[in-house]
Amino acid sequence: MDKAYDSKLVEGKIYRMWEKGGYFKPKIDKKKKPFTIILPPPNANADLHLGHAMYVIEDIMTRYHRMIGDPTLWLPGADHAGFETQYVFEKELAKKDKSRFDFPRDVLYKMIWDFVHENRGKMENQLRRLGFSLDWSRNVFTLDQTVVTTVYTTFKRLFDEGLVYRGLRLVNYCTKDGTGFSDLEVKHVERADPLYYMKYGPFILATVRPETKFGDTAVAVNPKDKRYKKWIGKEIEVEGLLRKFKMKVVGDDAIDPSFGTGVAKVTPSHDFTDYEIAKRHNLPMKQVIGFDGRLTDIAGPYAGLKVKTAREKVVEEMKTRGMIDHIDENYTHTVATCYKCGTVIEPLPLEQWYVKIKPLATQATKAIKEKKIAVVPRRFEKHMIQWLTNFADWNISRQLVWGMRIPAWKCQSCNEWTVTEGEEPNQCSKCHKTKLQQDTDTFDTWFSSGQWPFATLRVAQGKLSDFRSNDFNYFYPTSVMETAYDILPWWVCRMIMLGLYVTNDVPFRTVYYHGLIRDSKGQKMSKSKGNVLNPLRLIDQYGADALRFSLVFGTAAGNDQSISEDKIRGMRNFANKLWNAARFVTLLQSETKKGQQDITFKKEMDRIIHKVTSYMDKFNFNAASELLYESFWHWYCDQIIEQAKNGKISKTVLHEGLLSYLKLLHPFMPFVTEELYQKMPGWNGTPLIVSSWPV
């Protein structure tokens, strides 16, 4: 053995041996219950970040179950990441003085497809660098045709059963990127803006958006506000920039009496709260901001102006005409922005496809309450039920080219929609006319990834018959879904809803949530703060085992953790300690006599094995890693090896103990343990990855 462990010389060689030997593939045994994890698919086009390294928890589970003899599948995949990928591609086009508008839809789609697949292998090789024992023979892409067909089939069934409908509602819309967003993709930032106190008939009211005055359709007050009770239900006349107009005063509990003067203008087409007020009071909607971010024709001379410019000109005119009472120049409030480009999100009315959530959520809630799905840590079970109870209907439309185009065609004669499983219809399903036009939108990525557990297992077998493929029948429901807690409502809850709906069973038996990774000061990592740690650089510097162990050690399930290079460096020292101990054991002079402390050693070793196994079965990987670290370093190395030097522990027992530690540590530190295992005297040629767990 070399004097020192060099991860650079070991890791690539070991991984190639594992992959070439087919050791990641499960050995299906119908007499045994399988262990299955479906990888939460990373963006096919993007490099991994440190958060992706938390997949180590899935690899720990996978390697452990493989070693205890379970037929074990960890199925990999990649996400087309609709908006994320199209945004990156458009930046590449901009470098060539081009934009998405310069290409027909089918050409643009093909260009992005090629772009993604040129880069996809890079991300997958990064997963290999981390030592993840994924069954690459079953690798899936979210835009594989079988996945697409699965998603289309689900959509049509939802539509046929009245659980999908077309509706006009407000959406979070980025006028620069040209698409609506889910709440997850909206970044809320705090900033100071002027708060304008405008004269509105008999009232003075406060707003940060005077330019939307052209879209106002009512004035609202809180019905409990004694100052304005007498006005509720009455009509007032308001001085407008174009002409005088009349509007109704409504009473609504959504109005905060303490904000401004307690009076608010209602602009249903451009504010989510106002939209709900309008529905409750049957108010009309007037759209004053278009999808291009410019004021519409109802703004008269201000039409065509961008919002910021229009606001300045409107305020200037209102000041001139005495329509502004006063201005609070530094009003601090929260503004919704596009998480990519920073453009202020505009709530805009748009017809979209919606899923009726309540019937699906009811079944999902029931499954959780009946313990068909275990939640680790347990506290997140309550959060899941809260989200499922309060979900609004789900907007699954996105205004993108890159993604699964919605298989719905609008009849140009009767305006009804015909939905298929992907094939283009010959005629309208209602009036049977033949002039149809397909929806230009694509599915929200969460809609397709919400079907990931069962869609992947169907793809793996390559069949689309009624779920009778070997993989689906054997590996579904999956055993564990492991992911960060911050996407609990957007992904995990939706997988449960859609899994139950399509397969009549839960998609996984356990949900394991890990926390978020923060810097050494507890701050969220971001490029703007300059505190991002690149996992590949860390692997190059310290080795994959050190990074893996540091992400598990000292952090309980569901808790955020601060990660620093000092911690990773400490785990590299542990890998070196393991190497040096193994080197000592192999170089120890042979002996045959029984050591005085052999029986005591074996009892303690059995206790450690039993305790670690118990921790692994209970998903307590933090406790398992801490016990292994402390006992190996301070008991095996500091005490037992010293006793061996004095002949109190036999070499045979010392060697057996080391082999047990290599097996116990393998799920956490697979590279160094595999390398050492194969260098141990008497190695029988079976790699550690498929050796049996110590008992």
Give me the pLDDT at residue 589, please. 66
Please state, in angstroms and as integers, the Cα–Cα distance from residue 480 to each residue in 38, 75, 516, 519, following that order: 8, 12, 19, 28
Residue 489 lies in a domain: no
Pair (330, 184) in one structural domain: yes
Continuous segment of H or E residues that includes residue 386: helix 379-390
- Going by pLDDT thresholds of 50, 70 and 90, the confidence category of residue 519 is confident
* 289 and 420 part of one domain: no
* 299 and 184 housed in the same domain: yes
> Per the domain annotation, does 72 fall within a domain?
no
pLDDT tens-digit map of 290-328: 999 999 999 999 999 999 999 999 999 999 999 999 999
Here the CATH number for the domain that contains residue 588 is 1.10.730.10
- C-alpha distances (whole Å) from 481 to each of 337, 422, 493, 527 are 31, 29, 11, 29
Q: Model confidence at 467, in pLDDT bands (50, 70, 90)?
A: very low
Question: Is 262 within the bounds of a domain?
Answer: yes
Tally of domains in the chain: 3
Is 453 contained in some domain?
A: no
Q: Lowest mean pLDDT of 297-301, 409-413, 489-493, 645-649, name the range.
A: 645-649
Mean per-residue pLDDT, 111-138: 95
Instruction: Give the pLDDT confidence of 162-183 residue by residue, as tens digits.
Output: 999 999 999 999 999 999 988 7
Of 347, 372, 389, the position where a domain reaches its end is: 347
- Do the domain assignments include residue 523? no
3-state secondary structure of 194: strand
Helix (H), strand (E) at residue 280: helix 272-281
Residues 326 and 432 in one domain: no
**The predicted structure's pLDDT at residue 463:** 43
Same-domain check for residues 196 and 339: yes
* Mean pLDDT, residues 680-687 taken together: 92
pLDDT at 518: 85
Backbone angles phi, psi at 36, to 5 degrees: -130, 135
- Does residue 407 have a pLDDT over 70? yes
Q: Is residue 488 part of a domain?
A: no
Nearest residue to 479 via CA among 374, 622, 388: 374
Q: Which of 332, 347, 362 is the last residue of a domain?
A: 347
Mean confidence (pLDDT) of the chain: 94
- Domain membership of residue 340 (yes or no) is yes
Mean pLDDT, range 79-83, rounded to an integer: 94
Looking at the structure, do residues 186 and 289 belong to the same domain, yes or no?
yes
Residue 466: per-residue pLDDT: 44
CATH, residue 222? 3.90.740.10
Question: Does 436 lie in the same domain as 296?
Answer: no
Give the pLDDT of residue 595: 79
Domain check: are 297 and 430 in the same one?
no
Cβ count near 277 (within 10 Å): 23
- Pairwise CA distance, residues 626 & 628, whole Å: 5
Query: pLDDT confidence of 201, banded at 50, 70, 90?
Result: very high
683 and 590 within one domain: yes
Assigned token pair, 96: 């060539």
Q: Which structural domain, as residue segments, surrounds residue 318?
A: 179-347
Last residue of one domain, picked from the residues 304, 320, 347: 347
Q: Which residues pair with 353 in a beta bridge?
A: 166
